[in-house]
Each structure stands twice: as structure tokens, then as C-alpha cells.
């Protein structure tokens, strides 16, 4: 029933896997991982991939800021609740 995935059997993917093997996954640049490995796997157009590359860091920082503010608000509400009761 299940067939093997053929998209990784090309020379381009072989070169990518060899680079990962030679350099090591922890030492690879994050933008290379996005641009050459993860985004082509999703199958979006090149213009969409460029938009993702451009806005990934501001979006990540905004998400971290929203998470921090939400956590701080939650802690303040719990503190006020304990203070009142």
C-alpha cells in the first residue's frame, strides 16, 4: 500500500544531504535550512518563499514578545487574585 517517497532520490537532494552530513546539522546556517531544504519541500512558489525568508525573523520576535506579554499578564492576574482573596 505505501510506496517509498521519490522526491528525495534526486541529485539535488543528495547534495543537500551530503552537505548536512559533512558540516553537521548544528553548524548549518538557519536561512540555508529554510531556503534550500524546508521551503522547497512544501512546494510553494519562489516569490512566496522569498516572503517567508524576509519576514521569518520579525515574525519570530513578534511571537516571542506576544508570548512574554501574555505570560506576564497571566502572572499579574494570578498575583492580584491571590492578593484579594
Say which residue, 23 or 31, is predicted with more confidence. Answer: 23
CB-neighbour burial class of residue 37 (10 A; exposed 0-12, middle 13-18, buried 19+): middle
Kindly tell me if the per-residue pLDDT of 85 is higher than 90. Answer: no
Longest dimension (CA), the chain: 67
Averaged confidence pLDDT in the chain: 81
More reliable by pLDDT, 51 or 25: 51
How confident is the model over 55-71, as pLDDT tens digits?
Answer: 888 999 999 999 999 99
User: What pLDDT does 1 receive?
Assistant: 46
Which of 67, 26, 31 shows the shortest CA–CA distance to 50?
A: 31
Amino acid at each position: 500500500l505505501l510506496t517509498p517517497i521519490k522526491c528525495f532520490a534526486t541529485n539535488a537532494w543528495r547534495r543537500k544531504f551530503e552537505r548536512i552530513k559533512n558540516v553537521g546539522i548544528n553548524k548549518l546556517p538557519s536561512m540555508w535550512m529554510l531556503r534550500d531544504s524546508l521551503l522547497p519541500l512544501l512546494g510553494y512558489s519562489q516569490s512566496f518563499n522569498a516572503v517567508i525568508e524576509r519576514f521569518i525573523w520579525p515574525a519570530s520576535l513578534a511571537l516571542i514578545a506576544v508570548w512574554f506579554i501574555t505570560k506576564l499578564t497571566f502572572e499579574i492576574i494570578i498575583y492580584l487574585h491571590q492578593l484579594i482573596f
